[in-house]
Amino acid sequence: MTRLQLTAGAPGARILGFGSYRPRRRVTNHELAQAMETNDEWIQARVGIAERRWAEPDETLLEMSVAAGGKALAASGLDASEVDLVLLASASLPRPIPGLAPEVAHRLGAQRPGAFDVNAGCAGWCYALSAAADAIRCGSARNALVIGGERLTDYTDLTDRSTAVIFADGAGAAVLGPSETPGVGPVVWGSDGDQAEAIAIPEGEKAMSMAGQAVYRWATTRLTETLAEAMRRAGVGPDDIDVFAPHQANLRIIELMAKRLKLPERTVIARDIVRSGNTSSASVPLALSALLESGEARSGDTALLLGYGAGLTFAGQVVVLP
């Protein structure tokens, strides 16, 4: 058997910078109440959302992804020419082919990087982050740009209160680079395909459907163990977690997970869903960007991340914030 020549002394990986793009239009619960049978109290009691962002026609998935990616590059201190891998996580791509990641990379000025799209539902960005970190660790890439971008309003019936009050648009991104001290812990990921239809766009349909109660039960009963295992693999415990940033699907789920993990009171819990809605694969990087920009999270903080959604897919990991 041929013996492969592996990269000697391959580095670990760490996050160098975040960037985000939030659409201009704010849509409040009161505005939605004018178009459907709902109200602010009903929405906030069930999912915790006060407002969300919906993209205007010129705020395409490409434009939002480029904007978030450009900000992440600026925060990282790298030039686009130094990036040799670009991953775009999205569940709302506008076309089957070609992929959007190569176009995003070109617009940003990257020089012929590896580039591809990732669709793992709302877990997509965490999946892509792990893939990029592994590529850096094994020597397949030196620096990587990982974007989560969504225009979920393109696939939402905006008159259906079961989905229109929840889903929103936006893009978040992070740049990863090599590090002697690893800053991205091992991922704990998986899927429960027996519930694949719980969140779906049925064949021949144009709007998303979601079995909200089934997803809630799954998330609150199955995923705490994923987070505990992610901490164990990273060699940390609940008392070491400075920031908890799960997918922003439902404020009640977020708060229940934090309670079950017994995180210390000082832990900053991301609640970006209140102002941004559910932005699927963009939600985790958007939440982390907001926490860093506000000063609630700081460089060097240890963050526990969780993505989960359509598939049903999930991915938990511990990272060090840039």
Active-site positions read 122, 247, 278
- Tokens of residue 253, six digits: 């789920």
C-alpha torsion sign, points 255, 257, 263, 268: negative
Residue 16 DSSP SS3: strand
DSSP string, 161-200: HHHHTTB-EEEEEEEEEEESS--BPPPEEEE-GGGGGGEE
Helix axes 251-261, 224-234, angle to 10 degrees: 50
Give the pairing type, strands 85-89 and 114-118: parallel
Alpha-carbon gap, residue 310 to 283, rounded angstroms:
14
Cis peptide before 263 (omega within 30 of 0): no
> What tokens does 118 get?
């990732």
Residue whose pair of structure tokens reads 């995003």 in the numeric block: 104
How far apart are the C-alpha atoms of 25 and 28, rounded to whole Å?
10
Taken in order 246, 251, 257, 261, the sign of the CA dihedral is: positive
Q: Which CA distances in Å does 141 have to 114, 192, 251?
A: 9, 30, 36
Residue 285, C-beta contacts closer than 8 angstroms, at least 6 positions apart: 18, 20, 68, 125, 146, 147, 148, 172, 173, 174
